[in-house]
Chains A and B, each alone.
Chain A
Amino acid sequence: MILVAVVAFFAAACTPTSDSNTDQGVVEVFGPFRGEDAAKFAATVAPFEEETGIDVRYVGAGSFVQNIQQRVADADYPDVALFPQPALLRDMAAQGALVPVPDEVASRFLADVPGAVIGEAGGVLYGIWFRAAAKSLVWYRPDVFEARGYTVPKTWGELVALSQVMKSDGVAPWCLSMESFGSTGWVGTDWIEDIVLREQGVDVFDGWVAGDVLFSSSEITQAFATFGAIVNDTGSVLGGTNRILNVPWQRAADPMFDAEPACMMQKQASFWVPDASLGTVFGENFDFFILPGVTAAPAPVLVSGDIAGAFNDRPEVAAFMEFLAGPDAGVGWASRGGFISPHPEFDPADYIFDVDRKVGQTILDAPSLRFDGSDLMPSVVGTDAFWEGIRDFIRTGIFPAAEIDEAFPRPALFNDG
Chain B
Amino acid sequence: MSSDQTPSGTFSDPPALTLWNRVREREEWTDEERQHILDDLFPEDHNVVHYVKRFAALLILSTTIAAFGLVANSAAVVIGAMLVAPLMTPMLALAASLVYGEMRRFMGSVALIVVGTGAAIVVGWLVAFFASGSLTATALDSEILARTSPSLLDLGIAIAAGLAGGYVLTHKGSGSSLPGVAIAVALVPPLATVGVTLNLGSTDLASGALLLYTTNLIAIVLSASVVMMASGFVPDHVRLIAKGRFGVRLLPWAVALLVVAVPLAVHTQAVIREEAFTRVVTQSVAEWDPRASLLDVSTELSTGRSTVEVTVATTSDSKRPAWELAKLIADKEGVDVDVEVTFQTAESDASSTS
Contact A38 B341 (CB under 8 A): no
The verdict on A145 contacting chain B, using a C-beta distance below 8 Å, is no
CB distance from B302 to the nearest CB of A (A): 12
The verdict on B115 contacting chain A, using a C-beta distance below 8 Å, is no
The verdict on A113 contacting chain B, using a C-beta distance below 8 Å, is no
CB distance from B312 to the nearest CB of A (A): 11
A66–B323 alpha-carbon span in the complex (Å): 12
Contact B336 A38 (CB under 8 A): yes
CB distance from A26 to the nearest CB of B (A): 11
Q: Residues on B close to A: CB < 8 A?
A: 304-305, 316, 319, 321-323, 325-327, 329-331, 334-350
Q: Which of A5, A15, A35 contacts B345 (CB 8 A)?
A: A5
Contact A9 B322 (CB under 8 A): yes
Contact A3 B316 (CB under 8 A): no
A248–B293 alpha-carbon span in the complex (Å): 37
Q: Which residue on chain B has the smallest CB distance to residue A64?
A: B323
Contact A12 B335 (CB under 8 A): no
The verdict on A1 contacting chain B, using a C-beta distance below 8 Å, is yes
Q: Which residue on chain A has the smallest CB distance to residue B339?
A: A11
Q: Known contacts A12-B305, A13-B339, A39-B305: does B349 contact A7 (CB below 8 Å)? A: no
Q: Which of B304, B325, B350 contacts A11 (CB 8 A)?
A: B325
Contact A13 B329 (CB under 8 A): yes
A34–B336 alpha-carbon span in the complex (Å): 11
Kindly supply a per-residue 1/0 record for chain A positions 1-39, scoring 1 wherever the CB is within 8 Å of any chain B CB and 0 otherwise. 111111111111111010000000000001000110011
A62–B321 alpha-carbon span in the complex (Å): 10
Contact B323 A8 (CB under 8 A): no
For A10, the chain B residues whose CB sits under 8 A away are 322, 338-340
Chain A interfacial residues counted at CB < 8 A? 31
A42–B336 alpha-carbon span in the complex (Å): 10
For A242, the chain B residues whose CB sits under 8 A away are none
Contact A14 B336 (CB under 8 A): yes
Q: Known contacts A9-B322, A62-B322: does B330 contact A14 (CB below 8 Å)? A: yes
Contact B341 A17 (CB under 8 A): no
Contact B316 A12 (CB under 8 A): no
CB distance from A20 to the nearest CB of B (A): 13
Q: Which residue on chain B has the smallest CB distance to residue A12?
A: B338
Contact A4 B334 (CB under 8 A): no
A-B pairs with lowest CB-CB distance, top 8:
A13-B330, A9-B322, A11-B322, A11-B323, A13-B326, A61-B323, A11-B326, A15-B330
The verdict on A52 contacting chain B, using a C-beta distance below 8 Å, is no
A395–B304 alpha-carbon span in the complex (Å): 47
Most chain A CB inside 10 Å of its own CB: which residue of B304, B335, B338, B350: B338
CB distance from A402 to the nearest CB of B (A): 37
CB distance from B350 to the nearest CB of A (A): 6
Q: Known contacts A39-B304, A39-B305, A39-B336: does B347 contact A5 (CB below 8 Å)? A: yes
A8–B336 alpha-carbon span in the complex (Å): 20
For B345, the chain A residues whose CB sits under 8 A away are 4-5
The verdict on A217 contacting chain B, using a C-beta distance below 8 Å, is no
Contact A12 B337 (CB under 8 A): yes
The verdict on A67 contacting chain B, using a C-beta distance below 8 Å, is yes
A15–B305 alpha-carbon span in the complex (Å): 10
Q: Known contacts A1-B350, A63-B321, A67-B321: does B344 contact A15 (CB below 8 Å)? A: no
A-B contact pairs, 30 of them (CB 8 A): A1-B348, A1-B349, A2-B347, A5-B344, A6-B344, A8-B343, A9-B341, A10-B322, A10-B338, A11-B322, A11-B326, A11-B340, A11-B341, A12-B305, A12-B336, A12-B339, A13-B329, A13-B330, A13-B339, A15-B330, A17-B334, A30-B323, A35-B305, A35-B338, A38-B305, A38-B336, A39-B305, A59-B326, A62-B322, A67-B321
Q: Which residue on chain A has the smallest CB distance to residue B304?
A: A39
CB distance from B292 to the nearest CB of A (A): 13
Q: Which of B336, B343, B349 contacts A15 (CB 8 A)?
A: B336
Q: How many A-B contacts are there with CB distance less than 8 Å?
A: 97
For A6, the chain B residues whose CB sits under 8 A away are 342-344
Q: Which of B322, B343, B350 contacts A61 (CB 8 A)?
A: B322
A70–B316 alpha-carbon span in the complex (Å): 16
Most chain B CB inside 10 Å of its own CB: which residue of A6, A9, A11, A39: A11
For A70, the chain B residues whose CB sits under 8 A away are 321
The verdict on A114 contacting chain B, using a C-beta distance below 8 Å, is no
For A62, the chain B residues whose CB sits under 8 A away are 322
14 extra A-B contacts, CB within 8 A, seeds A5-B316, A12-B338, A63-B321: A1-B349, A1-B350, A8-B343, A11-B322, A11-B338, A11-B340, A11-B341, A13-B327, A17-B334, A39-B305, A39-B336, A59-B327, A61-B321, A63-B322
The verdict on A60 contacting chain B, using a C-beta distance below 8 Å, is yes
Contact A13 B336 (CB under 8 A): yes
For B316, the chain A residues whose CB sits under 8 A away are 5
Q: Which residue on chain B has the smallest CB distance to residue A16?
A: B336
Near B by CB (< 8 A), chain A positions 49-98 give 57, 59-63, 66-67, 70
Q: Which of A1, A3, A9 contacts B321 (CB 8 A)?
A: A9
A42–B330 alpha-carbon span in the complex (Å): 14
Q: Which residue on chain B has the smallest CB distance to residue A15?
A: B330
Most chain B CB inside 10 Å of its own CB: which residue of A8, A11, A13, A57: A13
Contact A2 B331 (CB under 8 A): no
A179–B180 alpha-carbon span in the complex (Å): 62
A135–B336 alpha-carbon span in the complex (Å): 32
Contact B321 A15 (CB under 8 A): no
Contact A7 B343 (CB under 8 A): yes
A13–B326 alpha-carbon span in the complex (Å): 6
Q: Known contacts A1-B349, A13-B337: does B323 contact A7 (CB below 8 Å)? A: no
CB distance from A58 to the nearest CB of B (A): 9
Contact A12 B321 (CB under 8 A): no
For B335, the chain A residues whose CB sits under 8 A away are 15, 17
A5–B341 alpha-carbon span in the complex (Å): 13
A8–B344 alpha-carbon span in the complex (Å): 9
Most chain A CB inside 10 Å of its own CB: which residue of B321, B343, B347: B321
Contact B342 A8 (CB under 8 A): yes
Contact B344 A4 (CB under 8 A): yes
CB distance from A44 to the nearest CB of B (A): 14
Q: Which of B329, B340, B346, B347 contacts A9 (CB 8 A)?
A: B340
Q: Which of A7, A12, A15, A67 contacts B334 (CB 8 A)?
A: A15
Kindly supply a per-residue 1/0 record for chain A positions 110-143, scoring 1 wherever the CB is within 8 Å of any chain B CB and 0 otherwise. 0000000000000000000000000000000000
A12–B308 alpha-carbon span in the complex (Å): 10
A5–B315 alpha-carbon span in the complex (Å): 10
For B304, the chain A residues whose CB sits under 8 A away are 39
